[in-house]
Amino acid sequence: MKLLAVRRLLRIQRVVVRYQLDELLLELPLPAWLRALAWLLPWRWRPRKPLQLSRGMRLRLALEELGPIFIKFGQLLSTRRDLMPADIADELARLQDQVPPFPEGQAIALIEEQLGASVGRLFTRFDSHPLASASVAQVHAAQLKSGEEVVVKVVRPGLKPVIRQDLAWLFLIARIAEKVSADARRLRPVEVVSDYEKTIYDELDLLREAANASQLRRNFEGSALLYVPQVYWDYCRPQVLVMERIYGVPVTDLSTLADQRTDMKLLAERGVEIFFTQVFRDSFFHADMHPGNIFVSTRTPWDPQYIAIDCGIIGSLTDEDQDYLARNLLAFFKRDYRKVAQLHIDSGWVPADTKVNEFEAAIRTVCEPIFEKPLKDISFGQLLLRLFQTARRFNMEVQPQLVLLQKTLLNIEGLGRQLYPDLDLWSTAQPYLERWMRERMSPRHVLRQLQQQAEQVPHLSQIARETLERLHQSGQPQAVERHWPLHLIGAALVAGGVLQGPGYLPDTWPAWLMLTSGLYLIARR
């Protein structure tokens, strides 16, 4: 493994030299010491002919040659036209679905191996030339014997060894960074890379993607917001996925969307609504929402509907994370920076001894300028930099479980900028979050939580019986036998009250009522 990793590093170096990416590095506003280090690279002392390629093309070709992890990084950069020059962003956008395909013969051989029959027996028609090709897989158009038009997705051969080597270097860099830098330790790079390792390997399993697509389709069944193609499970295997072929306009094809008179403002607002619905209603969100995976239906442009494909990367949040995020966002919308600061402290994201008033002032300084501005005037790149500086001052830690969510937010923002630059992200999101919080505190939701907690009663009963047996052995059976039903009910109420609050702290009147009643019953003699 170490030898393979060294070979991989040498290949990365060769690609950097071949496409003269060090020249692009020197165009950036680097610190003096890093610029001096770049000039000392050995290949810079040899004469080189200038490449007759644009800087964007050089970067794109290099990322394509280096493989899936680098391609996905380029896909993310392509959505951030506020951070990238237009010529580079245009070239990197081709990484979304125009990566050079692998040979047709390999694709057909893999399909036949996985499905156990020739493509002629499986399909009425199979187009050997791929419709699209991306970092992990490519898709071919086909028609089933039953007449349905479908696409066949096939995983690229030989990916795992390359990914394994790249991840080995990422882990090494992360471990070194944690040892030498306190700032890096706060960012928890090893945990971030570990989460990414799981994500990228999950994406190689097309059965997992098929299951994700089926779940997302159920979540939005009959919705005017989002359509997810049907999966044909009889034709799905770990390296082959067959699903309904969709016909829509790529979300970045602004001229076609304008020609069909698409309501761009509504389209942008629905993108925000879809995101918050997935995160807060379902806790199941599409976490690879770059433009290559998103289309717009042509049926009703005045009432636009999104179409989502490629569900290989899905994120989810715990109830505590959902509550924490919703309360933070609402506090941001209301400019209640003290509550934001207190929520960070209560959740353990910053040390418990942090001074709330100082942290509040720092957050206000960072966030106040972004309000009452349209999306086109907000630079989230600069905002993230300012937040990082604030984090360093207060030792705030990055939460690895939210990395996918942060990546998705970057994609959503980049998409929103392209569709409708004047979108007011805050006024679009705030009503949804307020409605979600009201529903969380409604009697119906509380009852549903109680029903879920009731399912834990048999387990609590077992604990109570074990406690009774221990007390019998200690010679205190009579009081326990007389009150054990009340103690059992009290334990259930305490569990129900505690589990309703973020970070296991109740913060609604039903939760506090359950908690205090339960403690009373447990303490009763």
- DSSP-assigned beta bridge partners for residue 314: 286
394, 362 Cβ separation under 8 angstroms: yes
Active site (annotated) includes residue 303: no
CA distances from 274 to 254, 303, 310, 456 (A): 20, 14, 16, 33
Find tokens 């060294």 and name the residue.
Answer: 6
Structure tokens at 329: 């966002």
DSSP structure class, residue 231: B
> What's at 198, amino acid-wise?
K
CA distance linking residue 115 with residue 105, whole number of Å:
15
Is residue 408 exposed (0-12), middle (13-18) or buried (19+ Cβ within 10 Å)?
buried
- What is the per-residue burial (b if ≥16 Cβ within 10 Å, else e) of 378-402? bebeeeeebbbebbeebebebbbeb
Specify whether the CB–CB gap between 80 and 381 falls below 8 A.
yes
Tokens of 373: 């501005």
**Contacts for 211 with CB less than 8 Å, ≥ 6 apart:** none
Q: How far apart are CA 483 and CA 114, in angstroms?
A: 62
Phi and psi, residue 505, nearest 5°: -120, 115
Spatial separation of the C-alpha atoms in residues 411 and 290, rounded to whole Å: 6
Which strand (E) or helix (H) includes residue 456? none
Strand-strand pairing, 306-308 and 226-227 = parallel
Question: Catalytic pick from 288, 310, 321, 323?
Answer: 288
For residue 65, give the nearest of 11, 103, 105, 129 by alpha carbon.
11
Q: In this structure, what DSSP letter does residue 377 have?
A: G
Check: CB of residue 393 under 8 Å from CB of residue 424. Answer: no
CB atoms within 10 A of CB 462: 10
Q: List residues with catalytic annotation.
A: 288
